[in-house]
Amino acid sequence: MSFVMRREKFTLGTVVLATVIFGEIFVRMGQPLDAWRLLSFSLVALVFLNIVVFLHNLIKAMVNAHEAKDQKDFERIVEPALRGNPAQLNAGSKRIYGWTSLLCLGIFAGAIVLLILRHYKIGF
């Protein structure tokens, strides 16, 4: 397992753990954190992130498409962007996409853990 995979797994686990701990802290303070709202927020944030990446790829492809000489060349340039492939992003954008998607998925998983803890009335 490479260092990058371990770092991403560690980050995902840390976000999940932080979400559960903060959820329990809010419950102890008397201000329960709405796990359903947190769950829906993380899903909406993940969808919004993917829409932004798709639009970024599409705009980048359209900028490059003015160099196309014919319809086939145009389709070759624009097709990867229409697939929504984040591989078309540059290194900085890939890093930002990776970390923000890890954050959204971690919050999503943490909200699911909070829902399970609340359903079975398990606390720390």
Question: Could you report the per-residue pLDDT of 7-45, keeping only the tens digit for each?
Answer: 888 888 999 999 999 888 888 888 877 889 999 999 999
Q: What is the pLDDT of residues 38-66, one digit of tens each?
A: 999 999 999 999 898 888 888 888 888 88
pTM (predicted TM-score): 0.79
Longest dimension (CA), the chain: 65
pLDDT of residue 123: 66
Q: Is the dihedral of CA 108, 110, 112, 114 positive or negative?
A: negative
Helices (H), the chain: 3-28, 35-65, 71-82, 91-119
CA angle (90 as vertex; 50, 93 as ends), nearest 5: 45
Q: What is the pLDDT of residues 72-97, one digit of tens each?
A: 888 888 888 788 777 667 788 888 88
pLDDT of residue 122: 79
Q: By three-state DSSP, how is residue 92 classified?
A: helix
